Amino acid sequence: MASTMETVATCTTVKEDRKTYAELPPGTKGYLQEKIEYALKAPDIVNIKLPDGSHTISMLKQIVMTAAIRIDETLHDFRWQYKSEVSFDMWPDFTSRGTEAPIPFLSTATEDGSGRRHSLNPFPKGFRPGLLRRPDVIVVRNSADRWSGRSRIDHYGNAHVDNSLRLVEVKFPGDAWGSGQERAYQKISGAPGEYKYRMTVIDVSDCNGDLEKARQQTLAISPDERQAELRYKRRERQLRAPIRTIEPIPEPAWYEAWIRTAEEAGEATVAAVWDAVNTGAHYLSTEMEAWLQQHASWALTTGKWVADKATATWQWVDESGREIFRYTTAQLKAGWDAIVRTTDMTWELMKQINWSQIGTSIIKGLVFVAAVVAGTVIVIVLAETLIAVLLAIAAIVATAATETVAALAIALGATAAAA
């Protein structure tokens, strides 16, 4: 089922919880407030299909803010004062009964040694269920240092200095503290007693109640009715959500669905439609359609990927059996290796992504992808050149038979366990 969004909010205010926690560090409020204000203009509601087959809704504002900061990080090689959604390992704190600081999970790029950036995989290798936390933003002391924690050592034994200036949690309308979340963030931000001046909570108030009203109204109807209503409103206006980096972006970000699975398409093909109502490229933004025509024109035709062992190629074949495009196995592997280096993607995560619920935005040569994994929306940022490969691999994973997907995993060098 394709993602659909609706804009509802018209009035909001932004304020800091100054009684319990610290004010933002000098010089940082403007940057963060800009991200929040632009996130508030994002589509508010997306219909999410959960692993058990049920449906719920998610508010995309948090994702827009994360993406805006993540793009800045990427453009600056992660030597940036603001780190979005760093995954922290709470195990050291748990086993030491609070004497050891939580440790940021780092990228798999071993060649970077102690200079590794934080992992971009929302479920990094080695995490323990219930002991993984991802605060919204970490403001660091030294932007030239990629380290984002206060722990003096990482998982690999490399020494670090405390580089965490402030943990910032943003609560958009409707957000509430999850079980144990606030206490965990206090531990990430500082030693016992320190969090009051090393942690900031920003409350974004819904002054007219529009967001809460929309949430309740949307939850009150069935998933099918919800989809139909949102599609109807989308016909009336194609939505754009502004995102900024350091410089204003002329064209605001665009969210549009990607792939329908074989189950939804009714056959083992990836249909040339980017909307659940089978209306084709009609709902594609001009920018995305032009990009697809240039980099992945096969995606605008109905067909499927076929493996040709004799030529070591993967071919996109349309409904008439005509070959439209091909990748060599070597090309896919090179692209996959680059994706792994860039995003810390794993084959297991790749298989868990619901490729029928994807949103994309092209910003300054980077593509921001919002993907649904186990009912949770995650952010992936890639260079345009890698998105076409990701799209091809995603199409194979989403629609091909199990043995074909396993063969692709082997060809890409994924481990047998991961495949």
Per residue in 308-363, pLDDT (tens digit) is 989 999 999 888 899 999 999 999 999 999 999 999 999 988 888 776 566 677 76
User: Averaged over 49-65, what is the pLDDT?
Assistant: 63
Is there a contact between 303 and 318 (Cβ–Cβ < 8 Å)? yes
**How many angstroms separate the CA atoms of 262 and 142, rounded?**
48
More confident residue, 118 or 371: 118
- Per-residue pLDDT band at 268 (split at 50, 70, 90): very low
Strand-pairing partners, residue 318, are 303
- Per-residue pLDDT band at 16 (split at 50, 70, 90): low
Of 54-58, 111-115, 278-282, 371-375, minimum mean pLDDT range: 278-282
Residue written as tokens 């994973």?
397
Q: What mean pLDDT, rounded, does the chain reach?
A: 75
Give 75-108 pLDDT, tens digit per residue.
Answer: 999 999 999 999 999 999 999 999 999 999 999 8
**How many angstroms separate the CA atoms of 237 and 386, rounded?**
30
Rounded to the nearest 5 percent, the helix, strand and coil shares of the chain are 35, 25, 40
Residues 6+ away with beta carbon under 8 Å from 50 = 56, 374, 375
CA 156 to chain centre: 26
What phi and psi, each to the nearest 5 degrees, are found at residue 111? -65, -20
Query: What is the chain's length?
Result: 419
What phi and psi, each to the nearest 5 degrees, are found at residue 21? -125, 180
**What SS3 class is residue 327?**
strand
Strand-pairing partners, residue 410, are none
Instruction: Please report the sign of the dihedral spanned by the C-alpha atoms of residue 219, residue 369, residue 15, residue 192.
Output: positive
Residues 6+ away with beta carbon under 8 Å from 19 = none
Is there a contact between 390 and 335 (Cβ–Cβ < 8 Å)? yes
pLDDT for position 41: 63
More confident residue, 21 or 158: 158
